[in-house]
Amino acid sequence: MKYLSLHSMAHFIYTSAQIRAIENKIKAQNPSPSLMQRAGLAAALEFKRIYPAPATLLIFAGPGDNGGDAYEMAYQLQQLSKPGISESATEVSFDSAHASREYEIHIVRDKHQQTLSSDALASLARAQSCAIHWWDVQDQYEPVLERCNAIVDGIFGIGLNRPIQAPWDQVIQQINQNRLQRDIAVIALDIPSGLSADFGTVFKPSALADQSASHTLNTNRTINRAAINDASIKASNTFTFIGDKFGLHTAEGRDYAGQVSVMNLDISAEEFPISNIEHNQVASIQAQLQRRAHASHKGSYGDALIIGGAQGMRGAAFLAGRAALHAGAGKVHLGFVDITSENDVPLDIMHPEIMCRSAEQCQLQNTSVAIGPGLGQSESSKELLLQCLKLTHDLVIDADALNLIAQEPPLQSALAQRNQSPLRGFCNTIITPHPLEAARLLSCTVQEIQADRLKAATELAQKWNLICVLKGSGSLVTDGHTCYVNGSGNPGLASGGTGDVLTGLCVALLAQGLCAFDAARLACYVHGAAADQLVAAGVGPIGLCASELPAAIRQYLNRRVGEFD
Ligand SMILES: NC(=O)C1=CN([C@@H]2O[C@H](COP(=O)(O)OP(=O)(O)OC[C@H]3O[C@@H](n4cnc5c(N)ncnc54)[C@H](O)[C@@H]3O)[C@@H](O)[C@H]2O)[C@@H](O)CC1
């Protein structure tokens, strides 16, 4: 299908500034058909594929080029509905006498707010020459809204630069409410209106913050609570143009974008700049996990030690330990804190192969270590963390270990000095903060972290010269230069203990010889994929338990990477 093909750059993600630069470069070449025509045709073809006619389509067109895309899509859909028109045509001559009624198309626009570019004006003219129904945003188009089969959002694209106000704010809530009630397709062109392409955040006008259960808006439109807090379109699908955008995949982006299709508009790969943001594709890393040789033994797959599990949080260490075991570490040790006598040391009855002892008795050298799950913040935990920072080569730092570092300058110095020991060389260090832990580490608020996740993850990785996994929807894995956005996983992971499992998985992969960046990337991917596998089998997302993940991780790894020669 023309313009929808993905080239070798498909795994890259771009900033809106990069997309604008590509757009300007191509536009300067006066291409025919124009980029807007290509965008409209690509959107029409993909829409027709996922939503074949007959159907009633309500298209909302805004004041900028995103609105131009919407006009062009409407025009192209009308053309594609004509009998005998080839789907690979890029420009189709119009003959209104033959216009098919296969799609009943309605367009809503703001007649008083048109500041259209020449491209958008040309697309508007083409659409106006078709059998399309036209509405002003102030008209009562509700009867169409209530019976249409699909809605297209061409209100704002990457040019959105402030919170959305009347009349479009009310329209957005109305569209979201309609989708909630009728479960219809809502297709966003380029990016859902209201979502930031660069941050995955929603521009929220303060007026929306404390609105109550139901509201009568100035066009007599009643909006219920479920839709009221949305200052962005919640799309079922986003057709994004030229290149993929970061905001569609992290922070709030995934909840608003739905299924993303990238349409590169036939722009060749050479026109794209090098991007330092990529989707976390792990095929090449999976290949690095050792295939199991006959003549291998437990020593071949490394030792993993997890330190944590203070009183009341012993389970966190067990979860990490089981994850390390199921992810293939040769030997797994748990070092518990708060142990007063030998008899205090807990055992994992279900997994007696895990070796348990007091943390103080554990060997920190020649072992891949994770510290944090259930660690607590006692003096002895602090001392253990200091020892780990000083003595280990492979170290995963999570949970309370991160909170301690945030509070204690001596721990921060020890972290900063990890790569300066000539004996150890460059260390494998991974931190796995969730947004609150990241906020503590950077002395800011969670809102500030979430407002620019890329900046936060990059800053943490650069500050301490390590690999940072910033957890949350669309987890980021970065070394401070290249950032991978993880696409696997689902809201079933939003429960206690899943982070401990991720930590155990990271340390098991380090133990098996992966470098920190590869281990963190593969761990994130496999952790999410295991959860996706469980949800596909009906285990979650509601009630998915962290303790169910290790076995799913084992299954995933054996299916995808661990084949036995
Ligand atoms: N021109 C082209 O050749 C192409 C354009 N494309 C489309 O063009 C879009 C970008 O176009 P624009 O730069 O015109 O951006 P938009 O279509 O997002 O609209 C920007 C316009 O809306 C105004 N605006 C921004 N925030 C507002 C708010 N909260 N309330 C009211 N008005 C607001 C701006 O002042 C500006 O006039 C892309 O997202 C994409 O959809 C793509 O199709 C690629 C090709």
Q: Please indicate whether residue 160, judged by its CB atom, sits closer than 6 Å to ligand 1.
A: yes
CA distance 465 to 29: 43
Mutate to test the pocket of ligand 1, among 160, 208, 272 (most ligand atoms within 8 A of CB): 160
Taking residues 174-202, report their average pLDDT. Answer: 96
How far CA 250 is from CA of 279, 476, 527, in Å, comes to 11, 8, 17
Q: Please indicate whether residue 104, judged by its CB atom, sits closer than 6 Å to ligand 1.
A: no
DSSP state of 331: E
Q: What is the pLDDT of residue 355?
A: 97
Q: What is the pLDDT of residue 24?
A: 96
Q: What is the pLDDT of residue 88?
A: 44
How far CA 513 is from CA of 119, 497, 505, in Å, comes to 55, 25, 13
Task: For residue 474, say whether it is annotated as part of any ligand binding site.
Answer: yes
Q: Nearest 5°: CA angle at 528, between 11 and 332?
A: 120
pLDDT tens profile 238-290: 999 999 999 999 999 999 999 999 999 999 999 999 999 999 998 888 877 76
pLDDT tens profile 479-535: 999 999 999 999 999 999 999 999 999 999 999 999 999 999 999 999 999 999 999
Residue 357 near residue 377, CB atoms below 8 Å: no
Q: Please indicate whether residue 46, judged by its CB atom, sits closer than 6 Å to ligand 1.
A: no
Q: Which atom of ligand 1 is nearest to the CA of 203?
A: 29
Task: For residue 472, say whether it is annotated as part of any ligand binding site.
Answer: yes
Q: Which atom of ligand 1 is nearest to the CA of 191?
A: 39
CA distance 495 to 342: 32
Q: Among residues 86, 23, 62, which one has the least CA distance to residue 169?
A: 62
Q: Which atom of ligand 1 is nearest to the CA of 161?
A: 26
Q: How many CB atoms lie within 10 A of CB 125?
A: 11
Q: What is the mean pLDDT of the chain?
A: 90
pLDDT tens profile 405-451: 999 999 999 999 998 877 777 899 999 999 999 999 999 999 999 99
Task: For residue 473, say whether it is annotated as part of any ligand binding site.
Answer: yes
Q: How many CB atoms lie within 10 A of CB 162?
A: 7
What CA dihedral angle connects 64, 116, 56 and 93, to 10 degrees? Answer: -130
Q: Please indicate whether residue 43, judged by its CB atom, sits closer than 6 Å to ligand 1.
A: no
Domains of the chain: 12-87+101-275 (3.40.50.10260), 283-290+299-560 (3.40.1190.20)
Q: Among residues 369, 357, 364, 422, which one has the least CA distance to residue 395?
A: 369
Q: What is the pLDDT of residue 465?
A: 95
DSSP state letters, 180-207:
HHH--EEEEESS-TTB-TTT--B---HH
Q: Please indicate whether residue 484, judged by its CB atom, sits closer than 6 Å to ligand 1.
A: no
> What is the Å distance from ligand 1's center to 62 Cα?
8
> What is the Å distance from ligand 1's center to 399 Cα?
42
Q: Please indicate whether residue 73, judged by its CB atom, sits closer than 6 Å to ligand 1.
A: no
pLDDT tens profile 68-103: 999 999 999 999 887 654 444 444 444 444 444 589
Helix axes 516-536, 498-511, angle to 10 degrees: 130
Mutate to test the pocket of ligand 1, among 156, 203, 260 (most ligand atoms within 8 A of CB): 156
Q: Please indicate whether residue 39, judged by its CB atom, sits closer than 6 Å to ligand 1.
A: yes
> What is the Å distance from ligand 1's center to 155 Cα?
8
Q: Please indicate whether residue 190, judged by its CB atom, sits closer than 6 Å to ligand 1.
A: yes
Task: For residue 475, say whether it is annotated as part of any ligand binding site.
Answer: yes
> What is the Å distance from ligand 1's center to 542 Cα?
38
C-alpha torsion sign, points 224, 226, 230, 233: negative
Nearest CA to ligand 1 atom 24: 160
CA distance 281 to 275: 15
pLDDT cut 90: percent of the chain above it: 80
Name the strand (E) or helix (H) holding 429.
strand 428-431
